Chains A and B, each alone.
Chain A
Amino acid sequence: MPEANDFWGWIGFILSHYGSSFLRGAGSTMLISLVGTAIGCLIGFIVGIIQTIPVSKNDNMAKRILMPIVKFILSAYVEIFRGTPMMAQAMFIYYGSMLMFKINMSMWFAAFFIVSVNTGAYMAETMRGGIISVDPGQVEGAKAIGMTHFQTMLYVVLPQAIRNIMPQIGNNLIINIKDTSVLNVIGTVELYFTTKTVAGNYYTYFQAFTIAMVIYFIMTFACSRILRVMEKKMDGPESYDLATTDTLAYTSGMADFPHLAKDKEDQS
């Protein structure tokens, strides 16, 4: 065992003995954040889309009565889950479901569920902002060629809204990678939980959490870079090709002009 004040020695010791635990913890953290963010985005998209459905005086009675109720429930969901800490939500949902409904959630299900509904609340507002940010002219353009509200949203507004909120989706993923650490309160074995356990074994908090910090940073940094590449891809190429020839006219490959090649040779 290394000396008490041998920092690098302890780092090496911890890595060699608990390296696989760290990796498993990091894997769990990554899995919970990715799945939670993905499901959360889906929830957020749906909530955000419903909240931006216009209701006018000309709509039928059912829609005019139902929509405000649905919108009220959804905004209550958003406000409650945005306005309370995820750590408290985790306790509330995990123990509440056990006590009130006799549901014994598995560690994984609880983790996915809590991160998803929490992210969903944030993404709902983000999506609403994304939809509002699309130029109203785009909607008018779509309506003017006879698209319905649903088609306008699907083909014109949502693709642009989602592109606009990509940085925010990345933000949420990164926040989730870090914030899954609060799930240790319900016993989810992720990176923070693992680190705490390892550190407690030999009282090497500094060394163990140095390793945890590095791993967290690698994960968040990699995600932010990957998302940046995805954004670039969504934007398409910077330049475009001019279609100067009839693409159907030259299906048998490039035309060959031997006499021109010969002229060139003569000149040189």
Chain B
Amino acid sequence: MTAEKKDAQEKVIDVIHLSKTFGTNVVLRDINLSVRPGDVTCIIGSSGSGKSTLLRCINLLETPTTGEVLFHGKDITKGHMDAASYRAKVGMVFQSFNLFNNMNVLKNCMIGQMCVMKKTEEEAKKQAMFFLEKVGMAPFINAKPRQLSGGQKQRVAIARALSMNPEVLLFDEPTSALDPQMVGEVLEVMRNLAKEGLTMLVVTHEMAFARDVSSHVVFMADGVIEEEGSPEQIFINPEKERTREFLSRFRKG
């Protein structure tokens, strides 16, 4: 086994030269990014810089125009792996929650386990309850999504994603649709997950979270990765002018 190949297998997700265009509109340009087990990677940047599109490409909700997305060294964009079974291993939490409106909280966390992982109802329930307990939503198992607040919905969505035992969990601006108090409760859950060693890739506007929790910070602007590094590097000694400019508003505040 060559050194290069071994390196590729250590990475859970490896994005190589990825670009994405919508018509003539270039959204992502030559993105290279890798995620290793236990990493908490935060992607920051202004709106429209392509952060969410990158995350959606990684989960194949968008098809990359060129480039590769390797999952344990296998390119998933070329059909080496069925999209559905890949997504079962890479969870995603959305800005708009996307809980199933026709099911209650418990069923939301069980349905994927039962029809994708083929678990029995009993096993699925046990697993779902374990994670609902973790995010503090166990008392609400009988509620329908429309009966919950935004923060509660997002915590259920996190529990739903965790119930699938994902190797990596992708967060697409999980707190952007929430009021400040609810932001707190969701970030608290995410902090705990990070502490437990869950591999996370988080697109966020919560700079304090990115600074304190992440092991790696990626700053994106205009569809390219402008700068990346440890939180100290990015937040205290940013090299690029654009990074400094973007963070100046945050540091003053």
Contacts and interface: CB of A to CB of B under 8 A. Distances in A.
A163 B100 CA distance: 14
A151 B94 contact: no
A146 B116 contact: yes
B139 to A, nearest CB: 5
B215 to A, nearest CB: 24
B40 interface: no
Contact of B102 (A151, A156, A243, A244): A156
Contacts of B9: none
Contact of A151 (B61, B116, B139, B147): B116
A234 to B, nearest CB: 9
Nearest to B88: A146
A241 interface: yes
B1 interface: no
A141 B88 contact: no
Contacts of B79: 58
A143 B111 CA distance: 12
B102 A147 contact: no
A63 to B, nearest CB: 15
A242 B137 CA distance: 10
Contacts of B88: 145-146
B142 interface: yes
A240 B94 CA distance: 25
B115 interface: yes
B143 to A, nearest CB: 4
B164 A146 contact: yes
Given A144-B59, A144-B92, A151-B115, A163 B102 contact: yes
Contact of B100 (A58, A143, A156, A240): A156
Interface string A156-176: 100110010000000000000
Identify the interface centre among B88, B98, B161: most chain A CB within 10 Å of its CB.
Answer: B98
Contacts of B139: 242-244
Given A155-B111, A240-B104, A145 B161 contact: yes
Nearest to A156: B100
A123 B101 CA distance: 23
B24 to A, nearest CB: 18
B91 interface: yes
How many interface residues does chain A have, given as a range?
20 to 34
A236 interface: yes
B183 interface: no
B144 interface: yes
A148 B115 CA distance: 10
Contacts of A240: 104, 140, 142-144, 147
B61 A236 contact: no
B143 A146 contact: no
B36 to A, nearest CB: 22
B84 A148 contact: yes
B87 to A, nearest CB: 5
A151 B164 CA distance: 16
Interface in A23-57: none
Contact of A147 (B63, B84, B104): B84
Contact of B161 (A144, A147, A155): A144
A137 B160 contact: no
B67 interface: no
A138 interface: yes
Contact of B85 (A142, A146, A155, A159): A146
A231 interface: no
B87 A146 contact: yes
A231 B88 CA distance: 34
* List of 7 A-B pairs having minimum Cβ-Cβ separation, nearest first: A146-B88, A141-B98, A145-B112, A144-B92, A137-B98, A240-B143, A146-B116
Given A144-B91, A159-B102, A242-B140, 17 more contacts: A137-B96, A137-B97, A138-B101, A140-B94, A140-B98, A142-B100, A146-B84, A146-B85, A146-B86, A146-B89, A147-B112, A155-B111, A156-B100, A163-B102, A236-B144, A240-B104, A243-B141
Interface of B: 59, 61, 63, 79, 83-89, 91-92, 94, 96-102, 104, 111-112, 115-116, 138-144, 147, 157, 160-161, 164
Interface of A: 58, 135, 137-138, 140-148, 151, 155-156, 159-160, 163, 236, 239-244
22 contacts: A58-B79, A135-B98, A137-B94, A140-B98, A141-B97, A141-B99, A144-B59, A144-B161, A145-B87, A146-B84, A146-B112, A147-B112, A151-B116, A155-B100, A156-B100, A160-B102, A163-B102, A240-B142, A240-B143, A240-B147, A242-B140, A242-B142
